[in-house]
Structure 1
Amino acid sequence: MLDLRFTPRDPDEPNRSATPLELLFDLASVVAIGVAAQGLVESIEAGRTMAGLIDYLCSFFMIWWAWMNYTWFASAYDDHSPAFRLLTMVIMFGALMLAAGIDAVFDRTPILLVLAGFSAMRLAMVLFWIGASRGDPERRTTARRYAMGITLMQGYWLVAMTAVMPSAPLFLPLFLVGVAGELSVPALAERHAATPWHRGHIVSRYGRLTLIVLGQCFASIVLTIQPEPEPSLLDAGRLWQAFLLAVITFSIWGLYFTDDPHLDNSGYGRALLWGYGHFFIFSTIAAAGASMRLLTEGTGETPLGNGVLGLALACLAATLWIVRDRYRLQGVARWWLPCLAIMLLLLTLASPAPLEAIALVLVIGTLLRRRTPPHGAPC
């Protein structure tokens, strides 16, 4: 008989790293992210750019939210018990179900499979929090608030998303209400007593997922190098394009993984902003990979593909400034990333710039940012 009781971990535990089970969970989530990115590509190719972007962000939210909730819980309560591992596997299977149903989001057909996968992931989290309430008396109220909030929101999703077709005008407003409700659950629950999550472990987990999502860019680069229908031949034009895409991918890595810490303190407000802000970081990196695939599957560079890539990179730079750099840097260097975001945005809005211009601006911005030494105390 499994003992549903999860005791808290030490938030100052030395050398805390991701477990193989957590990395396996990341892979399940990235499969769903890849399906969502492919749906975005197909929507753009079909001339449904704005609708496809909305569908992509909605499906990405469900994937990211389930991943984030599990990640922060595991940081605080992963006791390596059979019950913990079993519930983790249930959530992973839910992620795979969600991935299998994402096409329905883009087709604007009933999203029953997505709801089933999301429900499996969320109800497993309810059991996790019930176990935490039994194993952590000090934070019992916090755990119960989480369990109750998740249960209420899951009821909302089941009613709202089955009562209204995805093609109905009311669907998006109802979805946004659900997003607001979900985001409020941790904010309300943690006010009573913060869970003992491990700062270094959380930063490491987010960094690992960033690397895995960057794999979407690498996959697009490989497809660019291989010309059709004879993949054994070398095409100088495609090879140059692949080189530029690789430069952009390496620059994304350089912007994210700087020498100064991402989350330099465990303050309540900072943790929420940093954790929530990564929705835009993860989704824009995946969207950048999708735009690269759009260029690859076309006949070369296209204004639309370059435009999506430029907008994604501008959003990435702006988000990194909001969640990290405005706290860590001082003086002129503090404004490197906002300036980079504006430059990329201007390149995109004026008229989608050539890939060479996007790569050059991004490389210069990345080098300037990485040459900036970290400062001590946050602002």
Structure 2
Amino acid sequence: MLPRSKEEVHRASTPLELLFDLVFVVAVAGASANLHHSIAENHLSSAIFPFLWVFFGIWWAWMNFSWFASAYDIDDVPYRILVLVQLTGALVVAAGVSDTFSKGTSWFAITGYTIMRVAQITQWVRAWLGDPPRRQVITRYIVGLFLAQIYWWLIMLAPMSLKPYLIGFGILIELSVPFLAEKVNGGTPWHPKHIIERYSLFTIIVLGETILSASTAVQSSIDAGYVDGSLVGIIIGGLLLVFNMWWSYFQQTEHNITNSHWQGIFWGYGHYFIFVSAAAVGAGLASSVDFMSGQSMASLTLTNAVIAIPVICYFLTLALVHGRLRAYPMSAAVLCISTVLIALCIWSQSAVLLIGLIISASNAFKLWHYRTLSF
């Protein structure tokens, strides 16, 4: 398995990568749906950690595949078969999402991850055979992934009371593998523009799940006969919110990523907070519809908070990861003002509509400001 060139022009996502993304739609939808149901039952406090943990597992599996493919996707028959095995493992993980929410860990999820890891390590072994100059880097990946998977199996035997702490340590182990491996001999030959496209496509997938969660809740409300001005406000505000989340992400064509080890790690890892926030917004919008129609046991402030906090996290992380605060100092002031205004919406009866209008005004001002600077 020979490495791909970093200088390859017009590098684009392959149909197999797009199929891989679609499989992860199932897992993202499951995580968002479980968070939505927990909010409606007023069990948010017990659902926050499982949601963050489950989404990490989904995102991490996708990320490991995407960065490897950027460096070593030769699209031969063995590569395709191994990716299809990874897809099978991803579907098994998706089947264990609800179980993980309730128990913290799931035999389904661990088994699915093991299936993916066996295929992934096999891919790395092929890369080790075909790329002698980077064998030290690849060896770190192989050993790290193997030890990490052994650790997850051992966690299944631990007492329930210790699992949150052990899971947290396991996440640190997982994050350390690429961090330590990519420091050696210049790391793997991942393609910056290809990685940017892959992350952009995953952003669209998560935003699509946000729309799906909200539209499903709206349809249920309409079917139940709950249609009034509040529902219209949620629909308009939700559309404004999702449209502006998309606009903000794709507003900047040049992202803050290079072949630098530190920038690659910060950019790649930082997107976790962008993705998980977007998924949480979908659950929050659905919960707002439930509250309006009287189908939620959560309070008004809690219902609004599960929208406002993820929205703030999304735009704050987006500005940091894409380097906009440094490139455009005015963005920092606009972000601070928007954050305060969005936080105040937590106590409003029309929070979704107000948040959508605030984000729209913020983006309109920043767009005008950027255009002014360009002249």
Q: Fold conserved (TM > 0.5)?
A: yes
Pairs within 5 Å for 1:85-164: 85-108=80-103, 111-160=106-155, 162-164=156-158
| 8 A Cα contact 2:93 2:110, kept in partner | yes
Alignment partner, residue 367 of structure 2: 370
Residue 328 of structure 1 and its aligned partner are, at CA, apart by: 5.1
Instruction: Tell me if 1:186 matches 2:178.
Output: yes
Q: Residues 262-293 of structure 1, C-alpha deviation per residue, up to 9 Å, x if partnerless?
A: 23422111110010011110000010011111
- Tell me the distance in 2 between the aligned counterparts of 1:291 and 1:329: 31
Alignment partner, residue 71 of structure 1: 66
- Tell me the distance in 1 between the aligned counterparts of 2:302 and 2:214: 18
Pairs within 5 Å for 1:268-279: 268-279=261-272
Alignment partner, residue 281 of structure 1: 274
- Tell me the distance in 2 between the aligned counterparts of 1:344 and 1:172: 31
Residue 139 of structure 1 and its aligned partner are, at CA, apart by: 0.7
Aligned to 2:124, the other structure's residue is in SS state helix
Of 194, 197, 205, which residue of structure 2 is paired with 1:212? 205
| 8 A Cα contact 1:224 1:296, kept in partner | yes
Alignment partner, residue 328 of structure 2: 330
Pairs within 5 Å for 1:305-316: 305-316=303-314
- Tell me the distance in 2 between the aligned counterparts of 1:211 and 1:123: 29
Select between 311-320 and 115-124 the one with higher mean Cα deviation.
Answer: 115-124
- Tell me the distance in 2 between the aligned counterparts of 1:21 and 1:231: 41
| Amino acid of the structure 1 residue aligned with 2:317 | T
Higher relative CO (Cα under 8 Å, sequence separation at least 6) belongs to 2
Alignment partner, residue 252 of structure 2: 259
Alignment partner, residue 10 of structure 2: 15
Residue 53 of structure 1 and its aligned partner are, at CA, apart by: 1.1
Alignment partner, residue 197 of structure 1: 190
Q: RMSD between aligned alpha carbons?
A: 2.4
| 8 A Cα contact 1:321 1:338, kept in partner | no
Which structure carries more helix by proportion?
2
| 8 A Cα contact 1:330 1:375, kept in partner | no
Alignment partner, residue 297 of structure 2: none
Residue 355 of structure 1 and its aligned partner are, at CA, apart by: 2.1
* Structure 2: gaps spanning 5 or more residues: 295-299
Residue 169 of structure 1 and its aligned partner are, at CA, apart by: 2.3
- Tell me the distance in 1 between the aligned counterparts of 2:293 and 2:207: 21
| Amino acid of the structure 2 residue aligned with 1:309 | I
Alignment partner, residue 3 of structure 1: none
Residue identity (%):
34
Structure 1 residues 230 and 112, CA gap change in structure 2 (3 angstroms): closer
| 8 A Cα contact 2:230 2:350, kept in partner | no
- Tell me the distance in 2 between the aligned counterparts of 1:30 and 1:372: 36
| 8 A Cα contact 1:310 1:347, kept in partner | yes
Residue 323 of structure 1 and its aligned partner are, at CA, apart by: 1.0
Instruction: Tell me if 1:45 matches 2:43.
Output: no
- Tell me the distance in 1 between the aligned counterparts of 2:55 and 2:85: 20
Structure 1 residues 59 and 109, CA gap change in structure 2 (3 angstroms): closer
Q: Residues 158-180 of structure 1, C-alpha deviation per residue, up to 9 Å, x if partnerless?
A: 101x1125xx2211110000000
* Structure 1: gaps spanning 5 or more residues: 1-5
| 8 A Cα contact 2:221 2:289, kept in partner | no
| Amino acid of the structure 1 residue aligned with 2:91 | L
Select between 142-151 and 251-260 the one with higher mean Cα deviation.
Answer: 251-260
Select between 17-26 and 120-129 the one with higher mean Cα deviation.
Answer: 120-129
Structure 1 residues 69 and 240, CA gap change in structure 2 (3 angstroms): same
Alignment partner, residue 355 of structure 1: 352
TM-score by length of 2: 0.91
- Tell me the distance in 2 between the aligned counterparts of 1:283 and 1:375: 33
Pairs within 5 Å for 1:338-353: 338-348=336-346
Q: How many residues align?
A: 367
Alignment partner, residue 319 of structure 2: 321
Structure 1 residues 337 and 88, CA gap change in structure 2 (3 angstroms): farther
- Tell me the distance in 1 between the aligned counterparts of 2:72 and 2:220: 49
- Tell me the distance in 1 between the aligned counterparts of 2:113 and 2:94: 10
Q: Residues 193-252 of structure 1, C-alpha deviation per residue, up to 9 Å, x if partnerless?
A: 211111111000100110111112221343355355648997554333212211111011
Instruction: Tell me if 1:176 matches 2:168.
Output: yes
Pairs within 5 Å for 1:20-35: 20-35=15-30
- Tell me the distance in 1 between the aligned counterparts of 2:350 and 2:232: 19
Aligned to 2:322, the other structure's residue is in SS state helix
| 8 A Cα contact 1:98 1:113, kept in partner | yes
Aligned to 1:226, the other structure's residue is in SS state helix
| Amino acid of the structure 2 residue aligned with 1:139 | R
- Tell me the distance in 1 between the aligned counterparts of 2:291 and 2:349: 16
| 8 A Cα contact 1:325 1:334, kept in partner | no
Structure 1 residues 336 and 109, CA gap change in structure 2 (3 angstroms): closer
Aligned to 1:170, the other structure's residue is in SS state helix
Residue 364 of structure 1 and its aligned partner are, at CA, apart by: 1.6
- Tell me the distance in 1 between the aligned counterparts of 2:141 and 2:209: 33
Alignment partner, residue 294 of structure 1: 287
- Tell me the distance in 1 between the aligned counterparts of 2:263 and 2:336: 19
Residue 365 of structure 1 and its aligned partner are, at CA, apart by: 1.8
| 8 A Cα contact 1:291 1:306, kept in partner | yes
